[in-house]
Amino acid sequence: MPHSFATGVTDVANLHLQAASLTVAMVEFRSSRLGPSRLRAELVSPPELKIVDGYAELPPGVDLGIELNESLVAAITRLGY
C-alpha cells in the first residue's frame, strides 16, 4: 500500500498512482491536522487534498495538479546562499 510521509507532493503522486491502477485499493494518508508541518502546509498548493465521504479528490489541472512553492524550497535549501 503506498503511503505518504510528509508532503503534499507524495500525497498527490500516490493518489494518482492509485487512480491509474486496478490493483491499488487504498493509499495511506496522514492529515496535517495530526501533526502540523511547514512542508505539509506551505510546500504545495493546494496544501491538502479535499476528502469527501472518505475519498480524496484529485486536484484538477496539468501534471499532478499542484503548484510547488519555489520560494519555500529556496528558503529551506542551500540554493541561492
Residue 35's pLDDT band (cuts 50, 70, 90):
confident
The average pLDDT across 2-31 equals 82
Distance (Å, rounded) from C-alpha 43 to C-alpha 9? 8
Inter-residue contact 67 to 45 (CB < 8 Å)? yes
Average pLDDT, the chain: 83
- The SS3 assignment for 10 reads helix
Query: Could you say which DSSP state residue 47 is in?
Result: S
More confident residue, 81 or 52: 52
Can you tell me which residue has the cell 495538479? 65
- What is the model's pLDDT at position 8? 84
As given in the structure block, the three cell numbers for residue 54 are 472518505
The pLDDT of residue 4 is 67
Q: What pTM did the predictor assign?
A: 0.77
